[in-house]
Amino acid sequence: MPPVNAFAAVSATAPLQPIIIERREVGPRDVLIDIKYTGICHSDIHEVRGDWGPCPYPLAPGHEITGVVAAVGAEVTRFAAGDRVGVGCLVGSCGKCDACLRGQEQYCSVKAIWTYGDTDVDGTVTQGGYATQIVVTDRFVLHVPDALPLDTAAPLLCAGITTYAPLRRWGVGPGKKVAVVGLGGLGHIAVKIAHALGAEVTVLSQTLSKKEAGLALGAVDYRATGDPATFQELAGAFDLILSTVSAPLPMDSYLSMLTVGGVMVNVGAAPEESGMHLRLLNRQRILTGSLIGGIAETQQMLDFCGEHGIGAEVEVIAAEQINEAYERVLASDVRYRFVIDVATLA
């Protein structure tokens, strides 16, 4: 394979910069993808800034990838050159353990291989979607429905599946009252999907600054968590609360807004606070977490979004604007996903 243009972090503090990376030769079960768009997930920022521990530099992040198949290996039957495809957070798993057989490759008990910053089967560090091409085992490649443009579909590959999976898992549908905490990349797609599933959705945001836009996504109510009255007025109100917040949250106050047997799911990747046991046991409330979703469910989510016309609200940027975009994500100043036009890397 010829070298590939990419945009990478070289340390926790330096701006991301253009680099050249290697991709493996296309093996019998591999798909070579010309990347068109890659979303900027807050996880990219956590990872390259070392929020979750040491990061292997140089590292091109990006796990919200859409593009077009350029070539396939001899044994690949589900994809052909020209297909519109996506790749999310996963590029490998054992395929044999209980979790893999259940279609939950992300919980593989042997080893899930993450799209970037992980050790691949050949010992190299995986490099993500801030790049012009990627080679991925066919089992981890998704079909993007024709109804979805590739730019607004890209964020579905992480933000979409991460919110769709727990909304389905906990039975969100007509008659259910759902609160989405944090209206960023994950949060805004959670609102669209929960609304499309028939639930009554409330946004819980730090301020009311995005209220109009949030209601336009399908929410019926929009409250500021910066106002203590919100927690009193909404006590016991929700069947499910989905937190997509990228910083530690005072979970205890949020648990009070659940009804009896209500479920609080956290998908935000910041460490969680304690002091919540009474809120849980008095009303048999459930606090749980969730990690992306399996490959079959990711395809189900893409098909659902295709049927319901759900894409992300995106701001498409050139590669040279990535560092500025990171600062805006950290300042909660994004509506609601930055997506890199990968043609600007070529």
Please report, as ranges, the residues that interact with ligand NAP according to CB under 6 A.
Answer: 41-43, 46, 158-159, 162, 182-187, 205-206, 244-247, 267-270, 290-292, 329, 332, 334
CB of 269 to ligand NAP, least distance (A): 4
Nearer to Zn ion, 133 or 244 (CB): 244
Q: Which does 93 bind (CB under 5 to 8 A by kind): Zn ion, ligand NAP, none?
A: Zn ion
Q: Which long-range contacts (CB under 8 A, 24 or more apart) does 71-77 make?
A: 71/26, 71/31, 71/32, 72/26, 72/30, 72/31, 72/32, 72/138, 73/26, 73/27, 73/28, 73/29, 73/30, 73/31, 73/138, 74/28, 75/28, 75/29, 76/28, 76/29, 76/30, 76/31, 76/138
Nearer to ligand NAP, 68 or 321 (CB): 321
Please report whether residue 76 would count as binding Zn ion according to CB under 5 A.
no
What element of type H or E holds 330? helix 322-330
Q: Which does 166 bind (CB under 5 to 8 A by kind): Zn ion, ligand NAP, none?
A: none
71 Cβ contact list (under 8 Å, min separation 6): 26, 31, 32, 81
Please report whether residue 72 would count as binding Zn ion according to CB under 5 A.
no
Please report whether residue 158 would count as binding Zn ion according to CB under 5 A.
yes
Nearer to ligand NAP, 270 or 286 (CB): 270
Q: Which does 97 bind (CB under 5 to 8 A by kind): ligand NAP, Zn ion, none?
A: Zn ion
d(CA 277, CA 279): 6
**How many residues are recorded in the chain?**
346
Please report whether residue 59 would count as binding Zn ion according to CB under 5 A.
no
As a whole number of Å, the CA-based R_g of the chain is: 20
Q: Which does 92 bind (CB under 5 to 8 A by kind): ligand NAP, Zn ion, none?
A: none
Q: Which does 183 bind (CB under 5 to 8 A by kind): Zn ion, ligand NAP, none?
A: ligand NAP
CB of 258 to ligand NAP, least distance (A): 18
Taking the CB of residue 69, how many other CB atoms lie within 10 A of it? 18
Q: Which does 302 bind (CB under 5 to 8 A by kind): ligand NAP, Zn ion, none?
A: none
Write each residue from 296 to 325 as x if it is in contact with Zn ion (CB under 5 A), else as -, in one continuous string.
Answer: ------------------------------
Nearer to ligand NAP, 41 or 148 (CB): 41
CB of 88 to Zn ion, least distance (A): 8
Q: Which does 182 bind (CB under 5 to 8 A by kind): ligand NAP, Zn ion, none?
A: ligand NAP
* Nearest residue (beta carbon) to ligand NAP: 184
139 Cβ contact list (under 8 Å, min separation 6): 29, 95, 295
Please report whether residue 93 would count as binding Zn ion according to CB under 5 A.
yes
d(CA 173, CA 160): 17
Please report whether residue 133 would count as binding Zn ion according to CB under 5 A.
no
Please report whether residue 163 would count as binding Zn ion according to CB under 5 A.
no
Taking the CB of residue 273, how many other CB atoms lie within 10 A of it? 11
Strands (E), the chain: 4-8, 17-21, 30-39, 65-72, 84-87, 90-92, 113-114, 133-137, 142-143, 177-181, 200-205, 221-224, 238-243, 258-266, 286-289, 314-317, 337-341
What residues from 2 to 41 belong to the interface with Zn ion (CB under 5 A)?
41
Nearer to ligand NAP, 22 or 324 (CB): 324
Q: Are strands 84-87 and 142-143 parallel, antiparallel or unpaired?
A: antiparallel
Please report whether residue 97 would count as binding Zn ion according to CB under 5 A.
yes
Please report whether residue 115 would count as binding Zn ion according to CB under 5 A.
no
Nearer to ligand NAP, 79 or 222 (CB): 222
d(CA 337, CA 158): 11
The encoded tokens of residue 333 equal: 């100043």
Q: By CB under 5 A, name the binding residues for Zn ion.
A: 41, 43, 93-94, 97, 100, 108, 110, 158
